[in-house]
Amino acid sequence: MTDPLIADRRFFAALVAADVPTLEQLIADDFVIVDVFSGSEAARPDLLGGLASGVLRFTQVEPEAARVRRYGTTAVITGSTRMGGTFNGSPFQVHSRYTHVYSAGPDETWRLVSAQGTPIAGG
């Protein structure tokens, strides 16, 4: 089984590239993300559709630190990033801490099942 941190870095790179085919491979069908700004939940189709349509664009995702904890076929990654982009044409910048939960299937490929971001005050 590969290092789940490799999958996490691929996820961030695919966000910036708006690489929907790679994200389709990395994100589980039942994936849910909790939005860093509003706390609302978005499912896999919401994230992929936003990127494919251009409603959501990432111009930067710079990981600063990450820690991986593994529990069998589950990995929990906590870290921080600086992100920027646009949503519905409005620019955003955020310095945040994140939690990503990955699960490895029978093919031993890590898939992101859950993600949550929290803004860092003064960041």
Domains of the chain: 4-119 (3.10.450.50)
Q: Which candidate, 104, 47, 45, places its Cα nearest to that of 72?
A: 104
Map tokens 């960041």 to a residue: 123
Structure tokens at 30: 């039942």
Q: Is the pTM of this model over 0.75?
A: yes
Report the DSSP pairing between strands 90-104 and 74-87: antiparallel
Give me the pLDDT at residue 2, please: 83
Residue type, 89: G
Per-residue pLDDT at 96 = 96
90: burial class by Cβ within 10 Å (0-12, 13-18, 19+)? Answer: exposed
Average confidence (pLDDT) per 10 residues, the chain, 123 residues: 91 98 97 94 96 97 95 97 96 97 93 96 77
